[in-house]
Structure 1
Amino acid sequence: MIIQMKRQEFDSLADEALFNACFKPLILDYKSRMVKQTENSSMAKELFYKELTTGQKALFVFHVYYDHAIESKAEFYWWSAYFLAQPKIWSAIKVGMQYFEEEPMYLLLEETELVLKRYNCPNPIEKFAVSREDLDRNSELSASINPLYIHFNEIAPLTIKRISDFIRYNHENFVKIED
C-alpha cells in the first residue's frame, strides 16, 4: 500500500502536507473497506492493519488519534479514554511514537494514561461509558485533563514535523518516489 509520488512533489511538500499525503490514501482505503464490510469489521480492520508497513502503522494510528484529539479538550479526553479502553490500539499509538523516536508525545501519552486510570478509565471497551460531558460534571477530572490537552496542542506540531522528517529520510516505508 505504498503510495506513489513524483520526486518534485515529495520534495516540495511542507511537513503537515507530507504527513497528510502519506495518511490520506490509507484512511480512504480503510473507510472503503469498512463500508464494504457487513459482518466482521474487527477482522477487516486487522487485515487492513497487517497490510501496512511498520511505518505506515505508526503513522496511521497516530494520525487517527491526532485528528480526533486535537479538536477540543473534551475530544482529547474522550478519544484518549476510548483508545485506552482498547489496549491493542493504545499500545500501537505508543509503539508508533517509539518507532518515530518521538519521546515528548510518548511521555504525554503515558501521563494521559496515568491520569485516566486515576479516574477509573478505561473500562473494557464492552463496558465503555466515558462521556465528553464527564469534564463538565467533574471539575477535578477537567483540571487534570486541561494541562495535558494544552501540552498536546503545544507538542503536536513538533511531533508532526519530526514524523515528516522521519518520512523524508525513510521514504521507502511510506512513498515510492517516481522521477
Structure 2
Amino acid sequence: MALYGTGVWLIRGKSPEVKAGVIAQLSRGQKALCMFRVFYDHAHKSSAEYYAWISYMLDTPGYWNGVQEGLLFFEDTAMIRLLEETRSMLEQRNDRLGRQWSEAAFKDMEQDQELARQIGVLYESFGQLSGMSLKAIAAYIRAHPGEFVELA
C-alpha cells in the first residue's frame, strides 16, 4: 500500500480485525507512521486525552507495542522514555487502586488531583517532545518519499 493516508482512512472506526489487516499491508515505515499518528492524533488534544489514550493503548492488544515499534523505527528514544515513564506511573496507580486499564475514564482526572498533577507534568513533556517527533518523522518522509507517496 503506497499511500499512508489510504491505510488511515481504511482503519478509522473499523473492527480490530480490519485494522490489523490493513496495517499488515503497510511497509515498515508506513506502519511506524500510522501507529504514531493513531497515538498522537488522540493524545495531543489534552492531558485527559493523553491519560485515556495511554490506558486504551495498554488495554488493546497490539497498540502499545505498535507505537513503541514505530518510535523505535524513527529512533525517537525520548518519546519512548516518556511513554514508559507514563506507563510505569499508571501501572503503579492501577496496582494501588486495584484497577484495570479498561477502567480509565476522563473523570479520573477530575476526581484524583494527584493523578491530574502527574499526568499534567507528563503531558507537558509530551507536548514538547511531540514537536521533535513530528520533525524527525517529516525528515524521514522527505528522505524516503517513495515509501509514503505515489507520484502519478
* Contact 1:100/1:163 (8 A) holds in 2: yes
AA at the equivalent of 1:159? S
Match of 1:47 among 17, 21, 25: 21
User: Which of 77, 88, 100 is 1:123 aligned to?
Assistant: 100
- What's 2:146 paired with? 172
> What is the CA RMSD across the aligned residues, in angstroms?
1.8
- TM-score (ref. length: structure 2): 0.89
* Greater share of residues in strand: 1
- How many angstroms apart in 1 are the aligned matches of 2:53 and 2:82? 14
Describe how 1:1-179 pairs up with structure 2 within 5 A. 1-3=1-3, 22=4, 24-31=5-12, 34=14, 41-120=15-94, 123=100, 128-178=102-152
Report if the CA contact (8 A) 1:54-1:173 is conserved: no
State percent identity of aligned pairs: 32
Gaps of 5+ in 2: none
* Paired positions, count: 149
Structure 1 length-normalised TM:
0.76
Residue 81 of structure 1 aligns with an amino acid whose one-letter code is: S
Distance in 1 (CA, whole Å) between partners of 2:11 and 2:42 is: 16
CA separation in 2, counterparts of 1:107 and 1:155? Answer: 11
Structure of higher RCO (CA pairs closer than 8 Å, 6+ residues apart) = 1
- Aligned AA (1:123): Q
C-alpha distance in 2, partners of 1:113/1:2? 33
Equivalent-residue separation in structure 2 for 1:57 and 1:110 (angstroms): 20
Q: Is the CA contact (8 Å cut-off) linking 2:76 and 2:133 kept in structure 1?
A: yes
Q: Which blocks of at least 5 consecutive residues in structure 1 are unaligned?
A: 4-21, 35-40
Write the letter of the residue equivalent to 2:100: N
| TM-aligned CA deviation for residue 87 of structure 1 | 4.2
**Deviation at 1:30?**
2.1
- Mark the structure with the bigger radius of gyration: 1
Q: What per-residue deviation string (whole Å, max 9, x for no partner) do you get for residues 16-55 of structure 1?
A: xxxxxx4x332222238x3xxxxxx222221111111111
What is the alpha-carbon distance in structure 1 between the residues aligned to residue 110 and residue 40 of structure 2? 22
The corresponding residue for 1:17 is none
